[in-house]
């Protein structure tokens, strides 16, 4: 019996060692594979800045600092970086206070239909920015914009007051596209979870509702508001399509549009300057990270305590005023752009009401029968559907490894996930371009659907993994142990227990990644070919001010909007129904 006990202990130690080695191998493979596609592209861009060969992809490496000297000596580089920060700062200054007031109103007051209004902000978030931008061009083009034409009908008005092709126009388009909706989505649950007794104490002391909000509510909500601000900081360098459509026509470049211009020059592409600009951008992004972490950790505010009691603030008749304001804003964010795209797509010539006929279906006939539209629709559906299905599975597996296992290397894996969040989409695309063109066995991926699948799959990995980590922490270990005791393998336990329990969270990740993939431009535009253009890239190309096909761009933008919002909404409903439900 003694020898059997020793043998059993030896066997147990051996089995534990094998499991540990297997776990280490799994973590190592995840780090290598994810790191290669997430972190290595940025590293390669920095390395390529020291390659001064005439042709980076064909000539032997030639080390030097000429790329840096030329780039840093060009005023356009610094102007583009300043333009990037300026547009982001102005967008944030305008959108953040509006989002805070709306989130407080939805969460803390008895405004009618608050949950429906909150859902409509989700719908607004689902609408691709390229679609709303095309709609605002249709309205605010200085020569042909519908709003300008209406103003010109007024006495003593010779020309319309709006010009979307300007810095204020870019900021307005940013605010309308994604500046408000995303912040409302993040802030509303935080305001809803605030203990009402803290506000009641202020009102008992004689403070008015407005003073209570300014002196008590907002300071106590500093933590989530700082969190949203910090998360938005890493988005300084994310935007591309709005600036490409609205800024390039009047010579206004941000970092992403300048990189695109340098690489897509009619003559020899200036890869050296482009890589140097990209590297400067990465240095600035890395410098932002400590500031972001300082903002997050410098102060903590507790708003939920033992005896937590949610409640509403009575704002009297002002709730109807706020309802009207929010409905007006939602019309501008959702219904308005859709109606404008419908109207613009059927006009014979946008802004020309004197021609006969004013309306026509010829633009739709041209778009729907065009080969590139059919290919773009099919590519968009495949890419977005693939991202919607594969990303929750991949992100949940990574989150499980980080949270539920004790395998060595989990911290490095978590760092890879967080580190990729600071690499903007345009830099991701540029880095991927260098990887596939400099790696012999990956050359065949350039312009292929497979390469775009990799890019869209890994977009949003930081958000997806961390949201799933939160869901996994909430599920007790006994749920998994019950499956193991019943004889199920880990894989079967994962699909029969973990997936149903996490389905609401996975459905959310699926919807978010479908929306991101359907509207992606900056991360894939350098990698797509004519046969793999998506609807977003096609709309961006058609909507150029010198193309003269604004009506066709409206049609493509409308199709992209309906496709994204429709499929994402259905996927969300179906995903929630597939989860565990109470009887």
For residue 32, tell me if it sits in a domain.
no
The last residue of one of the domains, among 339, 358, 377, is: 358
Regarding whether 340 and 365 lie in a shared domain, the answer is no
User: What pLDDT score was predicted for residue 192?
Assistant: 72
Q: What does the alpha-carbon distance between residue 223 and residue 228 come to, in Å, rounded to a whole number? A: 9
For residue 9, tell me if it sits in a domain.
no
User: What pLDDT score was predicted for residue 306?
Assistant: 41
For residue 37, tell me if it sits in a domain.
no
User: What pLDDT score was predicted for residue 154?
Assistant: 83
Q: What is the DSSP string of 459-513?
A: TTHHHHHHHHHHHHHTS-HHHHHHHHHTT--HHHHIIIIIHHHHHHHHHHHHHHH
Give which of 23, 490, 75, 470 is closest to 253, Cα–Cα: 75
User: What pLDDT score was predicted for residue 303?
Assistant: 44
For residue 17, tell me if it sits in a domain.
no
Regarding whether 454 and 516 lie in a shared domain, the answer is yes
Say if residues 328 and 251 touch (Cβ distance below 8 Å). no
Phi, psi of 424 (to 5 degrees): -65, 165
Regarding whether 163 and 213 lie in a shared domain, the answer is yes
**Lookup: tokens for 69:** 């000297």
Domain range holding 228?
A: 73-358
User: What pLDDT score was predicted for residue 173?
Assistant: 92
User: What pLDDT score was predicted for residue 224?
Assistant: 64
Residue whose structure tokens are 């319309």: 160
CB count within 10 Å of CB 500 equals 14
Reported as a single tens digit per residue, the pLDDT across 116-145 is 888 888 888 888 888 999 999 989 988 888
For residue 24, tell me if it sits in a domain.
no
Reported as a single tens digit per residue, the pLDDT across 297-332 is 554 444 444 444 455 666 677 788 888 999 999 998
The last residue of one of the domains, among 358, 392, 427, is: 358
* Alpha-carbon Rg for the chain in angstroms: 26
CATH number at residue 365: 1.10.3720.10
Regarding whether 183 and 143 lie in a shared domain, the answer is yes
How many domains is the chain partitioned into structurally? 2
Regarding whether 280 and 367 lie in a shared domain, the answer is no
For residue 365, tell me if it sits in a domain.
yes
User: What pLDDT score was predicted for residue 309?
Assistant: 47
> Around 450, how many Cα atoms within 13 Å sit in the side-chain half-sphere?
6
For residue 181, tell me if it sits in a domain.
yes
User: What pLDDT score was predicted for residue 189?
Assistant: 75
3-class DSSP state of 11: helix
Regarding whether 397 and 257 lie in a shared domain, the answer is no
Which residues 6+ apart lie within 8 Å of 380 measured at CB?
Answer: 518, 534, 535, 536, 560, 563
Regarding whether 132 and 159 lie in a shared domain, the answer is yes
Predicted TM-score (pTM) of the model is: 0.81
Parts of the chain with a pLDDT under 70: 1-21, 193-227, 229-236, 265-267, 287-315, 422, 474-490, 545-548, 571-583
3-class DSSP state of 298: coil
For residue 283, tell me if it sits in a domain.
yes
């Amino acid at each position: 019996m003694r020898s059997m006990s020793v043998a059993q202990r030896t066997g147990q130690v051996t089995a534990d060692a094998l499991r540990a080695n297997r776990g280490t191998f799994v973590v190592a493979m995840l780090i290598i594979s994810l790191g290669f596609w997430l972190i290595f592209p940025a590293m390669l861009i920095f390395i390529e800045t020291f390659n001064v060969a005439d042709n980076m992809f064909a000539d032997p490496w030639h080390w030097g600092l000429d790329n840096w000297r030329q780039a840093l000596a060009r005023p356009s580089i610094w102007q583009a970086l300043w333009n990037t920060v300026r547009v982001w700062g102005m967008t944030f200054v305008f959108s953040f206070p509006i989002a805070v007031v709306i989130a407080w109103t939805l969460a803390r007051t008895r405004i009618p239909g608050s949950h429906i209004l909150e859902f409509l902000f989700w719908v607004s978030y689902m609408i691709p920015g390229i679609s709303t931008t095309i709609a605002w061009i249709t309205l605010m083009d200085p020569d042909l914009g519908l709003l300008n034409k209406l103003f010109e009908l007024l006495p003593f008005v010779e020309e319309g007051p709006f010009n979307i092709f300007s810095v204020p126009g870019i900021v307005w388009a940013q605010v309308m596209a994604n500046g408000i909706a995303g912040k409302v989505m993040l802030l509303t649950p935080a305001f809803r979870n605030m203990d009402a007794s803290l506000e009641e104490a202020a009102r008992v002391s004689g403070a008015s509702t407005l003073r209570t909000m300014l002196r008590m509510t907002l300071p106590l909500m500093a933590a989530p508001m700082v969190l949203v601000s910090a998360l938005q900081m890493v988005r300084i360098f994310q935007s591309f399509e709005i600036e490409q459509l609205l800024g390039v026509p009047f010579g206004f470049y941000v970092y992403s549009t300048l990189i695109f211009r340098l690489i897509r020059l009619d003559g020899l592409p200036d890869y050296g300057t482009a890589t140097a600009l990209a590297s400067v951008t990465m240095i600035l992004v890395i410098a932002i990270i400590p500031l972001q972490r300082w903002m997050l950790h410098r102060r903590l505010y507790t708003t939920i305590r033992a005896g937590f009691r949610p409640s509403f603030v009575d704002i009297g008749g002002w709730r109807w005023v706020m309802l009207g304001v929010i409905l007006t804003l939602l019309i501008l964010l959702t219904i308005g752009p859709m109606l404008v795209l419908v109207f613009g797509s059927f006009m014979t010539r946008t802004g020309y009401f004197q021609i006969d006929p004013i309306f026509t279906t010829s633009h739709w006939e041209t778009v729907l029968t065009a080969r590139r539209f059919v290919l773009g629709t099919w590519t968009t559906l495949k890419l977005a559907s693939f991202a919607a299905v594969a990303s929750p599975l991949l992100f949940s597996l990574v989150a499980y490894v980080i949270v539920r296992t004790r395998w060595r290397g989990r911290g490095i894996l978590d760092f890879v996930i967080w580190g990729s969040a600071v690499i903007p989409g345009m830099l991701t695309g540029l880095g991927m371009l260098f990887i596939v063109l400099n790696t012999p066995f990956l050359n065949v991926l350039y312009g292929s659907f497979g390469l775009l699948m990799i890019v869209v799959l890994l977009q949003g990995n930081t958000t997806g993994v961390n949201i799933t980590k939160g869901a996994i922490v909430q599920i007790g270990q006994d749920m998994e142990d019950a499956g193991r005791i019943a004889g199920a393998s880990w894989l079967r336990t994962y699909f029969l227990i973990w997936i149903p329990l996490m389905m609401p969270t996975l459905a959310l990740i699926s919807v978010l990644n479908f929306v991101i993939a359907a509207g992606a431009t900056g991360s894939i535009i350098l990698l797509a070919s004519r046969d793999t253009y998506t609807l977003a890239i096609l709309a961006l190309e058609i909507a150029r001010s010198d193309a003269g096909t604004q009506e066709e761009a409206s049609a493509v933008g409308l199709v992209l909007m309906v496709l994204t919002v429709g499929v994402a909404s259905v996927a969300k409903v179906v995903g929630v129904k597939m989860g565990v439900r109470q009887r």
